[in-house]
Structure 1
Amino acid sequence: MKFWIILHFLSLCCLISIVICDNESFQLRLLNYNIYGLPTPGILIPERVEAIAEYIQESSYDVVLLQEVWREQDYNILYNVLNETYYITNFYELSGEGCSGYILGCSGLVILSLYPIIETNFLPFRHRGSYLAVDGEVLVSKGLGRVRIQPFQNFRNIL
């Protein structure tokens, strides 16, 4: 069984590339979810993140792609609930340089996998918005996060 899987993850939408060699079939249960983690008055983010983590823990997804995990404290909630079940990218791993741990310079991307993560990569977008806009896009580091997973022990790295 020779095949490899690469998951690409955009901060606003998800592009998934699954490459399978030797005509082997492989089913991957995937969840792509925006946790809406931007601090907003009246929104109980830690409680929301805890509920999302519990849902993921009770689910049967192979790979989970999370968006808007802007704060390291929210990442820590996810990690504490899910680290015994899932391999999890580090909070800073998919943000590139300059992530403050609290929104500024962070991508908000986190990937969880039931299978070992053997490679990660983050490619920030060159255009990040305008300082004249009031949407805050220029303050974060959106981009493409990528992981390579190893679904089976006899996996052979062909890249």
Structure 2
Amino acid sequence: MSFFVNLVTLNCWAIAQPWPFGSKDRKERLKRLVDALEESDYDIVTLQEIWSEKDFDKISTNLAHVYPYSHYFHSGFTGSGTCILSKYMIVSTLVHRYSLNGFAHHIHRGDWFGGKVVGLAELNVKGLRVAIYTTHLHAEYNRDNDLYLPHRISQAFELAQFLDHTSRSSDFVILTGDFNIEPEDLGYHIIAKIANLEDAWLKRPSTHGSNDNGMTCDRPDNCYTNKHQLKRWPEGKRIDYIMYQSGKKHIELVECLTCLDKIPGSKLNYSDHIGLHAKFKISTG
């Protein structure tokens, strides 16, 4: 016996007013995201940077007929920004707030006020225990003078430990989110090695000459990309991930693709990031 599970993750860049650095076109982009998810065949959706719980309530209410189960992970002054929508029943949830989250006096950065977390939702997927994690680590801001690198490394270590200790009884484990870490960075290897995870993008089957390079942020084709970033990263950066671990069952990664890029019929993108989608085949026999 086997069946498929489709999952998508997206950093929505939905900073709401009255925060002084509100995201451009937030309401229109979220409305169009709801439309896209309503027409999709995703089973599980994880989102980051939904900083307003009112935005989450609107999204989950409008999509309740498609995703009857949802959860917002609370933290900090503005909320953690992370949430999950699911066609499968959410059995339990757990959240861990990272020990280091930036600096309170850096009011021009929102990381401390959001109180970055990793959220866990345990799902009942046709009788299997599936652990879905969603997280958003501290932003980098300046790679050459990264004041927050120790914070992000600490978060990566706590994330890996949290996942390792809370997933041992699960049949299948999926970690999603915006890590603000590139594949060559130490934090990436801490997460992958300690938690024993596979990177879905690297493990994807051959795409037969596809032009999809997997970059999820600061892409040259995204209308919200700061053009100064392109001087250093002309193709963009890969900082959003789906990682997975097969527990007690055989898991086959069928595909992994970027998605939720340009809004159809619009000059806008869904976010300053694009989404990442993975399809898994789960064999229970």
TM-score of the superposed pair, with normalisation by structure 2: 0.40
Superposed counterparts of 1:21-40, under 5 Å: 25-39=2-16, 40=21
Distance 1:41 1:107 in 2: 16
Larger relative CO (CA 8 A, sep 6+): 1 or 2?
1
Residue 46 and residue 88 in structure 1: after superposition, are their counterparts in 2 closer, same or farther (change >3 A)? farther
Q: Is the aligned partner of 1:64 residue 2:45?
A: yes
Q: Is the aligned partner of 1:146 residue 2:127?
A: no
Unaligned runs of 5+ in 1: 1-23
Letter in 2 for 1:106: G
In structure 1, the partner of 2:74 is: 95
CA contact (8 A) 2:69 2:89 kept: no
Distance 2:113 2:6 in 1: 33
Q: CA offset at residue 137 of structure 1?
A: 1.2
In structure 1, the partner of 2:96 is: 123
In structure 2, the partner of 1:108 is: 81
Q: Is the aligned partner of 1:78 residue 2:54?
A: no
Segment drifting more, 128-137 vs 143-152: 128-137
Distance 1:57 1:132 in 2: 40
Residue 136 and residue 60 in structure 1: after superposition, are their counterparts in 2 closer, same or farther (change >3 A)? same
Residue 114 and residue 41 in structure 1: after superposition, are their counterparts in 2 closer, same or farther (change >3 A)? closer
Q: 2:32 aligns with which of 51, 68, 72?
A: 51
Structure with bigger helix share is 2
Q: CA offset at residue 150 of structure 1?
A: 1.0
Distance 2:115 2:55 in 1: 17
Distance 2:15 2:65 in 1: 26
Unaligned runs of 5+ in 2: 130-168, 171-285
Distance 1:29 1:59 in 2: 10
Q: 2:109 aligns with which of 135, 152, 157?
A: 135
Q: C-alpha offsets along residues 2-48 of structure 1, whole Å, 9 cap, x if unaligned?
A: xxxxxxxxxxxxxxxxxxxxxx6553211100111013457232221
Letter in 2 for 1:95: H
Query: Tell me, what secondary structure is at the counterpart of 2:79?
Result: coil
Query: Tell me, what secondary structure is at the counterpart of 2:5?
Result: coil
Residue 120 and residue 43 in structure 1: after superposition, are their counterparts in 2 closer, same or farther (change >3 A)? same
TM-score of the superposed pair, with normalisation by structure 1: 0.69
Distance 1:85 1:41 in 2: 29
Residue 45 and residue 105 in structure 1: after superposition, are their counterparts in 2 closer, same or farther (change >3 A)? closer
Which structure has the bigger radius of gyration?
Answer: 2
